[in-house]
Amino acid sequence: MTNEAPHVHDVITMGRVSVDVYPQQTGPLEDVTTFSKSVGGSATNVAIAAARHGADAAVITRTGNDPFGRYIARTLPEFGVANDFVETVEGLNTPVAFCEIFPPDDFPLYFYRAPKAPDLMITTKSLPLHAIERTRVFWTTVTGLSEEPSRSAHHAAYAARSASTAATRSHTVLDLDYRAMFWSNPAAATREVAVALEHATVAVGNREECEVAVGETDPVRAADALLDRGVEVAIVKQGPKGVLAKTRDETVEYRPHTIDVVNGLGSGDGFGGALVHGLLQGWSLDRTLAFANAAGAIVATRFECSTAMPTSDEIDEFLRTNPAQATTKEGIDA
């Protein structure tokens, strides 16, 4: 009998999943004639995006026991994402999401998650705590904190992660992905984020999400406020103004790439998967941010989300022809 070491994932994400039914034409949904179907949901998309860079990825989520749920479970391994922690919830339907496409900057989303999404039915008892404790990167989103039992499950995962002494553990990332329709009011989200930030080493969100999290929209002040909460890396996405990242010793800011936007949805998830890759590789903040910024730009030039996630080679080629433009690089050695 051999004692095999337990499997350690590079990244485990936890939270939202859906089937995206996206139009293949721009304009109002009532005028669209053809649609495509793909796996969606922010946490799931980040796992897929990370797997595109070679990461050993898995996602903790729930689907309905229905055709869309079976489609998700079947498709995840095709993207290189383990479905070991994907379970079904009887009596609830797998969520569906639609969007409208009005380039360059208007992409309304329509979530069909009533009466409750299965991914909010993750329970504390069902958590693969040993895997969570040992994974190199653990990624969650604020949406998972919006309802019980998912809220308690997330806090249990954070606590286990913080208490873990596993040598493989490196980062706990909190995506500030705030969606107003999932919350009774912003104050409720602010309270939950405050607890989650106590366990996070990396926080990433846009200016509006930072306002909910720490009461700041100015990128520098928002990043400083996140650092004051205890994270090691704070990343503030600024849309058409680029992206800023700060540690206690370093500030890096990049301009956005000039691209023809097709669909901006999914760019943040592509950014997230590339960010995970940089963290796993131990890259500098500068290199990681440039790589992630380019990933988000590439996804914005494509119609869908999960199927649009670029490979590392695609990002490297993009950066060769579209060099990253830093607006700020400050550090101890600067």
Q: Over the stretch 51-96, which tens digit does the pLDDT of each residue have?
A: 999 999 999 999 999 999 999 999 999 999 999 999 999 999 999 9
Assess if residue 5 is contained within a domain. Answer: no
Q: What is the mean pLDDT of the chain?
A: 94
pLDDT at 104: 82
More confident residue, 241 or 275: 275
pLDDT at 24: 87
Assess if residue 247 is contained within a domain. Answer: yes
Task: Evaluate whether 168 touches 8 at the Cβ level (below 8 Å).
Answer: yes
Residue 46 lies in domain: 11-330
What's the Cα-to-Cα distance from 155 to each of 14, 128, 199, 328, rounded to whole Å?
12, 14, 9, 35
| Other CB atoms within 10 Å distance of the CB of residue 264 | 19
Residues 136-159, mean pLDDT to the nearest whole number: 98
3-state SS, residue 244? strand
Above pLDDT 90, what percent of the chain? 85
Above pLDDT 70, what percent of the chain? 98
Start-to-end CA distance of the chain, whole Å, equals 56
What's the Cα-to-Cα distance from 214 to each of 117, 125, 176, 333, rounded to whole Å?
27, 31, 10, 29
pLDDT at 166: 85
Residues 281-305, mean pLDDT to the nearest whole number: 94
Assess if residue 3 is contained within a domain. Answer: no
Q: Over the stretch 179-219, which tens digit does the pLDDT of each residue have?
A: 999 999 999 999 999 999 999 999 999 999 999 999 999 99
- Helix and strand tally (H, E) in the chain? 10, 15
DSSP code per residue over 114-147: -S--GGG---STT--HHHHHH-SEEEEEGGGGSS
* pTM confidence score: 0.95
CATH of the domain at 137: 3.40.1190.20
Q: Over the stretch 300-312, which tens digit does the pLDDT of each residue have?
A: 998 888 989 999 9
Indicate the burial class of 134 (C-beta count within 10 angstroms; 0-12, 13-18, 19 or more): buried
Assess if residue 4 is contained within a domain. Answer: no
Residue 2 has pLDDT above 70, yes or no: no
Assess if residue 6 is contained within a domain. Answer: no
Task: Evaluate whether 145 touches 127 at the Cβ level (below 8 Å).
Answer: no
pLDDT at 303: 80
Residue 40: in which H helix or E strand, if any?
A: strand 35-40
pLDDT at 333: 43
Assess if residue 170 is contained within a domain. Answer: yes
What's the total number of domains in the chain? 1
Assess if residue 118 is contained within a domain. Answer: yes
Assess if residue 1 is contained within a domain. Answer: no
Contacts of 313 (CB under 8 A, 6+ apart): none
Q: How many residues does the chain have?
A: 334
Q: Over the stretch 5-29, which tens digit does the pLDDT of each residue have?
A: 789 999 999 999 999 998 888 899 9
Q: Over the stretch 205-261, which tens digit does the pLDDT of each residue have?
A: 999 999 999 999 999 999 999 999 999 999 999 988 899 999 999 999 999 999 998
Residue 160 has pLDDT above 80, yes or no: yes
Q: Over the stretch 89-133, which tens digit does the pLDDT of each residue have?
A: 999 999 999 999 898 888 998 999 999 999 999 999 999 999 999
Residue 143 to residue 186: CA distance in whole angstroms: 12
Residue 332 has pLDDT above 60, yes or no: no
Contacts of 55 (CB under 8 A, 6+ apart): 10, 11, 273, 276, 277, 280
Residue 56 to residue 136: CA distance in whole angstroms: 10
pLDDT at 4: 67
What's the Cα-to-Cα distance from 323 to each of 82, 139, 298, 326, rounded to whole Å?
34, 28, 13, 10
